[in-house]
Amino acid sequence: MMRNSTMKWVAPIVLAGVVIAGGSAAIAAAPWSNDSQIKVTEGSSWSKPSDVDIDARKAEMQERLANRVESGEITQAEADDIRAKMADRKGKFQRGERPSNVDIDARKAEMQERLANRVESGEITQAEADDIRAKMADRKGKFQQRIGQR
């Protein structure tokens, strides 16, 4: 009788241990990031985009600006202003250097002001502006994770 009652509580404990060990192994083997844009290279966990990728992004940006001008969403002068700002930013930073905290803070303030103006003009709702801010905070968190992985 004693042996049978001991088996009744030992078997579930052993089974639970096996399940926990198997689950832990599965979690340990799972990848930590589903981000398909991260490129792993020998010697580093993340690499800069290739020149081809950068050129493709530039071409896409130019096409989007042209489409916005064509649709009447923005004027040609506004598109030219955007291009000038992009060129100005590029000129400020040498390849491989990071913007200063002052530059980053100025860009954040400019973005907040643009969002407030868009809400005020009725172009977007406050909820949409809050969603944009949340997405930017999420992007910042993902960026900091990538930096921490280096």
How much of the chain exceeds pLDDT 90, in percent? 15
Model confidence pLDDT, tens digit, residues 86-110: 877 766 665 566 777 888 888 889 9
- Between the alpha carbon of residue 94 and those of residues 20, 35, 83, 88, the distances in Å are 51, 27, 18, 12
The winner for highest mean pLDDT among 8-12, 48-52, 81-85, 112-116 is 112-116
pLDDT at 27 over 90: no
Position 31 scores a pLDDT of 55
Model confidence pLDDT, tens digit, residues 39-70: 444 444 556 777 788 888 888 988 988 999 99
- d(Cα 37, Cα 45) in Å, to the nearest integer? 12
* Closest to 95 measured CA to CA, from 48, 30, 146, 28: 48
Token pair of 68, please? 């916005």
- Which has the higher per-residue pLDDT, 21 or 150? 21
Helices (H) and strands (E) in the chain, counts: 5, 0
* Closest to 74 measured CA to CA, from 118, 126, 130: 118
- Helix %, strand %, coil % of the chain (to 5): 75, 0, 25
